[in-house]
Amino acid sequence: MKKERNVKRLSLVILAISVVSAQAAPLDITGAWFRSLPGKLPAGGYFTAQNNSRRDVAITGAMSEACGMLMIHQSSNKGGMSSMEMMEQVKVPARAQVTFAPGGTHLMCEGAKMKIGTRVPVLLKLSDGTAVAVAFEVKGATGK
């Protein structure tokens, strides 16, 4: 009888741990890559973020040892003039997907130190206080 109770308690602990780790990563990041350009040109970072949780979450920042500075940018085209704007955060609504892509929202890596064909780590900071570690594939100018 006593033994049975211990088993039950253990499974509760395991359940609690798995709930915590699910909360730790509300976003699934797929297709992450940097466009590495020659010289001192910045590298754009692209990916798809899927929010599998029932709560909205925002990407509030990014860090990488491969970048001197890593920012969130929004490309826009106003009256034929293309420009980039810094974003404080990008919201990923509950059960929805947001794509960082060329010509739209993207990461901008200034002072890039990366080699085409390798992967570099990026830490995406989220509004709920957690962070997601993502390996970005480094591709060339044509995206290959």
Work out whether 114 is an interface residue with Cu ion (CB under 5 A): no
Give residues 37-76 in contact with Cu ion (rule: CB under 5 A).
73
d(CA 92, CA 5): 41
Dist. CA 95–CA 110, nearest whole Å? 32
- CA separation for the pair 52, 26 (Å, rounded): 6
Q: Of 98 and 108, which has the nearer Cβ to Cu ion?
A: 108
- For CA atoms 85, 87, 93, 95, give the dihedral sign: positive
Which one, 26 or 59, has the nearer CB to Cu ion? Answer: 59
Which two structure tokens, joined as six digits, stand for 143? 């995206």
| Closest to 109 in 3D by CA, of 58, 82, 73, 143 | 73
To Cu ion, the closest distance from the beta carbon of 72 in angstroms equals 9
Q: Which is nearer to Cu ion, 25 or 71 (CB)?
A: 71
Q: Which is nearer to Cu ion, 109 or 131 (CB)?
A: 109
Which of 35/73 has CB closer to Cu ion? 73
Give the binding range for Cu ion (CB under 5 A) out of 15-23, 26-34, 78-86, 97-105. Answer: 78-86
State the residue number with the nearest CB to Cu ion.
Answer: 73
- The Cα–Cα gap between 86 and 77 comes to 14
Residues 82 to 111 in contact with Cu ion, rule: CB under 5 A: 84, 108
Neighbour count for residue 125 (Cβ, 10 Å): 16
The distance of closest approach from Cβ of residue 42 to Cu ion in the complex, given in angstroms and rounded to an integer, is 7
Binding site for Cu ion (CB under 5 A): 73, 84, 108
